Amino acid sequence: MTTSDCHASLWLARNDRDMANCTITFYPDNKKVKVPKGTDILNAAIAAGVYINSSCGGEGVCGRCKVIVKKGEVVSEPTGRLSKEELQKGYVLACCSTIHSDVEIEVPPGSRLKKEQILTEEAKVERLAGLFSKAGEVEKGIEIKERKIFSHSPLATKLFLKLPPPTLKDNISDLERLYREVRRKLEIPIVQTGLANVKKMGRLFRESNWRVTALLGKRNGTTEVVLIEPGDTSKRNFGIAVDIGTTSIVAQLVDLNTRKTLGTKATHNRQVSYGEDVITRMIYAKRKDGLEKLHHVVVDTVNELISVLSTEHQISLSEITGVMCAGNMTMSHLLLRVDPTYLRREPYVPTANFMPVIRAAEAGIKINPRGLLACLPGVSSYVGADIVAGVLASGIDEADKLSMLIDIGTNGEIVLGNREWLVCCSSSAGPAFEGSGVRSGVRAMEGAIQKIEIDPEDYKVKYSTIGGAKPIGICGSGYIDTLAELLKAGVIERSGKIKENLNTKRVRKGEEGLEFVLVWKRDSGTDEDIVITQADITNLIRSKGAIYTAADILAKKTNLELKDINKIYLAGGFGNYLNIEKSIWIGLLPDLDRKKFAFIGNSSLAGAKFALLSYEATMKTREIAKKMTYIELSVDPSFMNEYTGALFLPHTDIGRFPTVIKKLSLK
Amino acid sequence: MTTSDCHASLWLARNDRDMANCTITFYPDNKKVKVPKGTDILNAAIAAGVYINSSCGGEGVCGRCKVIVKKGEVVSEPTGRLSKEELQKGYVLACCSTIHSDVEIEVPPGSRLKKEQILTEEAKVERLAGLFSKAGEVEKGIEIKERKIFSHSPLATKLFLKLPPPTLKDNISDLERLYREVRRKLEIPIVQTGLANVKKMGRLFRESNWRVTALLGKRNGTTEVVLIEPGDTSKRNFGIAVDIGTTSIVAQLVDLNTRKTLGTKATHNRQVSYGEDVITRMIYAKRKDGLEKLHHVVVDTVNELISVLSTEHQISLSEITGVMCAGNMTMSHLLLRVDPTYLRREPYVPTANFMPVIRAAEAGIKINPRGLLACLPGVSSYVGADIVAGVLASGIDEADKLSMLIDIGTNGEIVLGNREWLVCCSSSAGPAFEGSGVRSGVRAMEGAIQKIEIDPEDYKVKYSTIGGAKPIGICGSGYIDTLAELLKAGVIERSGKIKENLNTKRVRKGEEGLEFVLVWKRDSGTDEDIVITQADITNLIRSKGAIYTAADILAKKTNLELKDINKIYLAGGFGNYLNIEKSIWIGLLPDLDRKKFAFIGNSSLAGAKFALLSYEATMKTREIAKKMTYIELSVDPSFMNEYTGALFLPHTDIGRFPTVIKKLSLK
């Protein structure tokens, strides 16, 4: 049983101590968990560490959480989401069925959240992080050459101190002795510490022969001695930068002394079992124990990433002293167990944009028990810290000329501005570009198809995968390529419709209508064909349309046009690669000079890392968050009209994409 | 069972969950407690709320904790402290005897800590506290007329806020909304709060219709929102000032809005059962669970005082938002459960002079769960916050001319200086003037004899008691009077020796040698004669000698003489009255112009109250603590010589007391 399993089942147990326990076994994983009688199968699965699809958050609406009861007593509510045939086969909806005896459950492939190994996601973060390399040494990339270097002052700094032992002449208290030595080494005005440190200080100082390491953290302008350790542990000080997305969570292990990134791990946000988007989860949070569950699940996910990173790099959890998180507003609230209810109620206010820095342990994050947890600030209910971090990483807040940041996650957030002003908006893009809600979608990970070419003559498909492994699915950048290539090869209409009468076996009728086979089963790393379905295409077009429309309207709202923009940064968890040209072909990006575009990868993670490594950068995020003005697009009367226009490839108003017309010979 | 009983027995139970329990009954109180087999009787008594004398801290040395085993199995270590007769009667030492069955124990009167009702102790604190009365309005007393008025800014301030509800146009987060309103009302730069408040904020603001009360606390230059309550609770904000003495603890309930003192309560520091002085307790703290016990017992004592005060004034504990403590260094350490070990080891350093402000709950103090606990700073191991508070209250740190503060507690601490410099020292006076370690001693409480006159002709005694009640014993000021009057009436020699051949029944032979009866049993509030014994006199002379010597040497150390001092403030828990003239007669104070003296009462409590009511005063104590230089007198070569000289009434060198020679016709 893994730690998180323990946690979840303990949690359930705690809430129903006196109820009879049932053992539930999930196949094909063969995972077992004891839960109180009456627990629904979806929750039992989460407790067991089995992740079942559920985009509606267990409301019985989406019908994605189909499972088969093989043995035992289960009581299900009636549902229209299951066919007669399915009911005969023993199918039930996991969210609507409660357990009343020991049971065995089969989770069919279609209901499973992709079982992914946690793999390194190499993003362009590294390049941006190069900003720290050496004072004065500036990277060459156009997009960052004007950026200033942030000072090196991590969330938590270790300082080795040789305290002069007290004598009759120098008999100030232990605490003052500590402060005096800290102030001798660093120019900092106020130093404080907690009672826990004072309690252990007397003995610790003497037993360590007055050689100690102080862990210092800055909070609200004062410096806190967070922790005191015997001897010199200053060489080992590590931090974690986390991007908490609605669909994926990415954590990065950073050496706080050298500023080097040691490793990056990503995984699904397990909250997905409680709903695909933030709205569903906010609704879920209103249920009994809903907030508690959402909180625990996201904390478990972060802990798992930290645990894997630390194990792999042979770092003890006690050597990890700080965690810096960037997430959207809902994620920040849920991470800290703050009720997100008011985010979705008019007038849509967060409980806090600027969350207090706390001990990580207070939120259940497992690092050094006295280590710190900081959440970067957000702007509004729908523009969170992930975007503020992105602005920090891209530096558009420091540019003289007009720049735009487009961050593609489950929502597509857009920021426009320069050093004088910043406006931002959010559009519901959906998680298609994150590999979620699309048949063969995966995140940017080993084996994910990231580049595609389709021969317009014979429809043969050339592709390359991350790490060169056998393909296991398609990630966001792969989908952009696929859409562009399908259009170019004439497999799909500009409306996205797959043409039926093509001379290729790759176009075929599947369960959900027409689909195009990109990789045959024999070449696939899974045991299935890798396909893109008509439903996938519709999904992807909606996503790209939502983003383009938002960018377009945001520019117009400020009396500008997209062509006035000097630089457009594209961010998102696409991995290392994103084809700008093809993004323009499908109308995700406007048809401007290609030199204006730069793909900067996971800028939320990059920003979190900057802030983790620099108090100056952290303070900068506060400035940015205060400077950004949120604009609500959905209330704009032209929105629906514009959006409908963008549901074509590249757009109904094809005149907006002159170079694409030419290159793809569109009409 | 009272709360503290529960606490103590729970505490014992926690440590020996699996051991068989024995029921022990203490007579005459008829108090019962269950303790694990093997518990010693002294600890069982504490758990039962029965307070037994023990000046050695349970080391089996002082022989004061004699009890009689009436029933049950008790295993005692051999001791030379019990006579054959006592052994035959079933006497054992409570500290050296463990319980091995249900037992019944009789605590004889001599072994009992005086069972005192907690009574109001009216000290001169009120007069000093008048400093706050109104800006510009200054009290008339000589000693305070030059003092400045401290600004009114309590440890915790309540602020009622009508928050404008959020709208689509004004949709900043709840937390920013709170901060904005606080900043509108008060000019404070940084505001912060804890996650606990953020978590409940969303719901609380809406349910209270945006009418809330914020409790603000200043810490290290930043302001913290300590607590948020629905509606307007700002009218009800109370604090507690505490003087934690080695022998007595005094707590004062203060209305933080009006600055009015609502009540004062005092009681024994129950740590007395673990040793009479700080050294014994520091040694006790080294035992297994010793620190834990000392900590719990002092916290229980403070909690009991708070509970009585709040009940009496119909104040809920949740309306008490701050506690300000002044205690000597050992008491500060023990209150916060910081190991005092290093205080008594060369080079005698405290773990912390400046203790962090914490939530009272963190130390087990029962007020509002988020309320604050602050300990005033001390100077060194043997000059603590009680003396710093005394300097604050007396204002000698602001005087142009030379002043001295003499604080008589279990130790006698002395401060000398002016606005330029301050030096201080400590002498082991013993608790005689606190009514401890002397046969008929009581604290300044109702029924305590505070004034005495003895007719030199017939040795008749006139006395007055606090509150005019029947006399129950003699308090510190009463003992000073008694000593002076015995000397004047010729009952004792200048050496303190009681004259045997006087024509009065009042001088008689008691168990411990000669004694003088002040009040006959028939007039006494207890069922016993009230007497002063030869041993008491020796004890009192040692105390006064130690204090005089310390004052004398401290002056000489700074190349001054006592006569150079412009003003001498005498402080201590003497109640409302102290006769300066008679204090000079016995040589406690030097023979200077009487106008130079002022009795200022419990200045430790007064200082704590000032700090409780004013952040400015709190900051002032930090300044004072830093400014004070500690001088170790015991290493002075002339000390023993001077001390021996002071063991006479008023002094061997009678020339130092010219007016006393004259008035008492001494030779």
Distance CA A89, CA B348 (A): 80
Comparing CA positions, the residue from B583, B565, B566 lying closest to residue B574 is: B583
Other beta carbons within 10 Å of A168: 11
- DSSP letters of A223-273? EEEEEEEES--TT--EEEEEEE-SSEEEEEEEETTT--EEEEEEEE-GGGG
Name the region of A513 (left: φ>0; alpha: ψ -120 to 50; beta: rest): left
Angle at CA A70, nearest 5°, toward A64 and A74?
70
Q: List Cβ neighbours of A457 (8 Å cut-off, separation of 6 or more).
A: none
**Is a pLDDT exceeding 70 seen at residue A125?**
no
CATH superfamily membership of B238-375: Domain of unknown function (DUF4445) (3.30.420.480)
Residue B199 near chain A (CB below 8 Å) = yes
Of B167, B195, B201, the CB nearest to A362: B195
Q: Quote the tokens at residue B590.
A: 């030097």
Supply the DSSP symbol for A30: T
pLDDT at position B134: 33
Supply the DSSP symbol for A602: -
- Which residues on chain A are in Cβ contact (under 8 Å) with B342? 174, 202, 206
Residue B456 near chain A (CB below 8 Å) = no
Q: Quote the tokens at residue A489.
A: 């090869």
Helix (H, G, I), strand (E, B) or coil at B212: strand
Distance CA B261, CA B313 (A): 11
- Which residues on chain B are in Cβ contact (under 8 Å) with A225? none
Angle at CA A444, nearest 5°, toward A439 and A448?
60
Identify whether the C-beta of residue A94 lies closer than 8 Å to the C-beta of residue A68: no
> Within the 214-273 window of chain A, which residues sit less than 8 Å (CB to CB) from chain B?
219-222
**Candidates 3.40.50.150, 2.40.160.20, 3.40.50.2300, 3.10.20.880; CATH matching B156-230:** 3.10.20.880
Helix (H, G, I), strand (E, B) or coil at A506: coil
Helix (H, G, I), strand (E, B) or coil at B271: helix
Comparing CA positions, the residue from A438, A408, A637, A440 lying closest to residue A545 is: A408
**Is a pLDDT exceeding 50 seen at residue B133?**
no
**Is a pLDDT exceeding 70 seen at residue B143?**
no
Helix (H, G, I), strand (E, B) or coil at A125: helix
Strand order through the sheet with A222-230: A156-162, A211-219, A222-230, A191-193
**Is a pLDDT exceeding 50 seen at residue A387?**
yes
- Which residues on chain B are in Cβ contact (under 8 Å) with A341? 202-203
Q: What is the mean pLDDT of chain A?
A: 88
% residues pLDDT > 70 (chain A) = 91
**Is a pLDDT exceeding 50 seen at residue B4?**
no
**Is a pLDDT exceeding 80 seen at residue A16?**
no
**Is a pLDDT exceeding 50 seen at residue A119?**
no
- Which residues on chain B are in Cβ contact (under 8 Å) with A352? 173-176, 198, 201
**Is a pLDDT exceeding 70 seen at residue B35?**
yes
pLDDT at position B404: 96
Cβ distance of B166 and A351 shorter than 8 Å = no
Cβ distance of B202 and A351 shorter than 8 Å = yes
% residues pLDDT > 90 (chain A) = 68
Supply the DSSP symbol for A137: B
Domains B156-230 and B396-429+552-649 share a fold: no
Cβ distance of A351 and B174 shorter than 8 Å = yes
pLDDT at position A19: 56
> Within the 98-117 window of chain B, which residues sit less than 8 Å (CB to CB) from chain A?
none
Distance CA B143, CA B596 (A): 9
Identify whether the C-beta of residue B489 lies closer than 8 Å to the C-beta of residue B456: yes
pLDDT, one tens digit per residue, over B625-645 is 999 999 988 788 899 999 999
Q: Which one of A169, A175, A225 makes the best mutation probe of the B interface by having the most chain B beta carbons within 10 Å?
A: A175
- Alpha helix stretches (DSSP H) within B32-101: 41-48, 84-88
Q: What is the mean pLDDT of chain B?
A: 88
A626 to chain B: nearest residue by CA?
Answer: B172
Cβ distance of A202 and B339 shorter than 8 Å = yes
B333 to chain A: nearest residue by CA?
Answer: A199
From B582's Cα to the closest Cα of chain A, the distance in A is 38
Identify whether the C-beta of residue B281 lies closer than 8 Å to the C-beta of residue B133: no
**Is a pLDDT exceeding 70 seen at residue B105?**
yes
Comparing CA positions, the residue from A632, A362, A354 lying closest to residue B178 is: A354
pLDDT, one tens digit per residue, over B337-396 is 999 999 999 899 999 999 999 999 999 999 999 999 999 999 999 999 999 999 999 889
Q: Quote the tokens at residue B106.
A: 């009789």
Other beta carbons within 10 Å of B660: 23
Residue type, B92: V
Q: List Cβ neighbours of A25 (8 Å cut-off, separation of 6 or more).
A: A31, A32, A102, A103, A104, A105
The residue with greater pLDDT, A50 or A656, is A656
pLDDT at position B45: 86
From A332's Cα to the closest Cα of chain B, the distance in A is 12
**Is a pLDDT exceeding 60 seen at residue B139?**
no
pTM of the model as a whole: 0.85
> Within the 372-411 window of chain B, which residues sit less than 8 Å (CB to CB) from chain A?
380
- Which residues on chain B are in Cβ contact (under 8 Å) with A631? none
- Residues B410-439, mean pLDDT to the nearest whole number: 92
Comparing CA positions, the residue from A358, A284, A398 lying closest to residue A43 is: A284
Distance CA B483, CA B542 (A): 12
From B352's Cα to the closest Cα of chain A, the distance in A is 5
pLDDT at position A114: 57
Supply the DSSP symbol for A194: -
pLDDT at position B527: 83
Of A219, A338, A347, the CB nearest to B198: A338
**Is a pLDDT exceeding 70 seen at residue B124?**
no
CATH superfamily membership of B3-111: Beta-grasp domain (3.10.20.30)
CA dihedral B127, B132, B136, B142 (to 10 degrees): 20
From A512's Cα to the closest Cα of chain B, the distance in A is 42
Place of tokens 């409590």: B605
pLDDT at position B148: 57
- Which residues on chain B are in Cβ contact (under 8 Å) with A351? 173-175, 198, 201-202
Place of tokens 């510490």: A193
- Which residues on chain A are in Cβ contact (under 8 Å) with B221? 190, 222
Angle at CA A460, nearest 5°, toward A456 and A466?
115
**Is a pLDDT exceeding 90 seen at residue A409?**
no
Q: Which one of B177, B190, B195 makes the best mutation probe of the A interface by having the most chain A beta carbons within 10 Å?
A: B195
pLDDT, one tens digit per residue, over B295-325 is 999 999 999 999 999 999 999 999 999 999 9
pLDDT, one tens digit per residue, over A484-532 is 999 999 999 999 999 999 999 999 998 889 999 999 999 998 888 999 9
Peptide bond into A471 cis (omega under 30): no
- Which residues on chain B are in Cβ contact (under 8 Å) with A199? 336-339
pLDDT, one tens digit per residue, over B538-565 is 999 999 999 999 999 999 999 999 999 9
pLDDT at position A491: 96
Distance CA B290, CA A245 (A): 51
- β-pair partners for A210: none
From A351's Cα to the closest Cα of chain B, the distance in A is 5
- Which residues on chain A are in Cβ contact (under 8 Å) with B341? 202-203
- Which residues on chain A are in Cβ contact (under 8 Å) with B173? 349-354
pLDDT-derived band at B285, boundaries 50, 70, 90: very high
Supply the DSSP symbol for B395: T
Cβ distance of A347 and B176 shorter than 8 Å = no
pLDDT-derived band at B512, boundaries 50, 70, 90: confident
- Which residues on chain B are in Cβ contact (under 8 Å) with A167? 347
- Residues B592-606, mean pLDDT to the nearest whole number: 92
pLDDT, one tens digit per residue, over B159-202 is 999 999 999 889 999 999 999 999 999 888 788 999 999 999 99
Supply the DSSP symbol for A73: -
Of A174, A221, A336, the CB nearest to B351: A174
Distance CA A273, CA A286 (A): 16
Residue B54 near chain A (CB below 8 Å) = no
Distance CA B512, CA B642 (A): 29
**Where are chain A's structural domains?**
3-111, 156-230, 238-375, 396-429+552-649, 432-540
Angle at CA A562, nearest 5°, toward A560 and A568?
120
pLDDT, one tens digit per residue, over A333-356 is 999 999 999 999 989 999 999 999
A/B interface, count of CB pairs below 8 Å: 141
Supply the DSSP symbol for A217: E
From B353's Cα to the closest Cα of chain A, the distance in A is 6
- Which residues on chain A are in Cβ contact (under 8 Å) with B354? 173, 175-176
**Is a pLDDT exceeding 60 seen at residue A127?**
no
Peptide bond into A230 cis (omega under 30): no
Distance CA A16, CA A47 (A): 14
In whole angstroms, what separates CA B426 from the centre of its chain? 16
Of B174, B341, B352, the CB nearest to A175: B352
> A335 to each of A155, A281, B548, how far by Cα in Å?
19, 13, 64
Distance CA A642, CA A653 (A): 10
Identify whether the C-beta of residue A341 lies closer than 8 Å to the C-beta of residue B190: no
Identify whether the C-beta of residue B403 lies closer than 8 Å to the C-beta of residue B429: no
Of A172, A198, A202, the CB nearest to B355: A198
pLDDT, one tens digit per residue, over A533-566 is 999 999 999 999 999 999 999 999 999 999 999 9
Peptide bond into A347 cis (omega under 30): yes
> Within the 340-359 window of chain B, which residues sit less than 8 Å (CB to CB) from chain A?
341-342, 346-356, 358
Q: Quote the tokens at residue A93.
A: 């909806």
Domain B396-429+552-649 has CATH 3.40.50.300: no
- Which residues on chain B are in Cβ contact (under 8 Å) with A337? 199
Of B173, B342, B362, the CB nearest to A350: B173
Q: Which one of A168, A198, A207, A357 makes the best mutation probe of the B interface by having the most chain B beta carbons within 10 Å?
A: A198
**Is a pLDDT exceeding 90 seen at residue B406?**
yes
The alpha carbon dihedral of A92, A93, A96, A97 has a sign of positive
Helix (H, G, I), strand (E, B) or coil at A282: helix
pLDDT at position B20: 67
pLDDT-derived band at A36, boundaries 50, 70, 90: confident
**Is a pLDDT exceeding 90 seen at residue A141?**
no
pLDDT at position A20: 67
pLDDT at position A590: 97
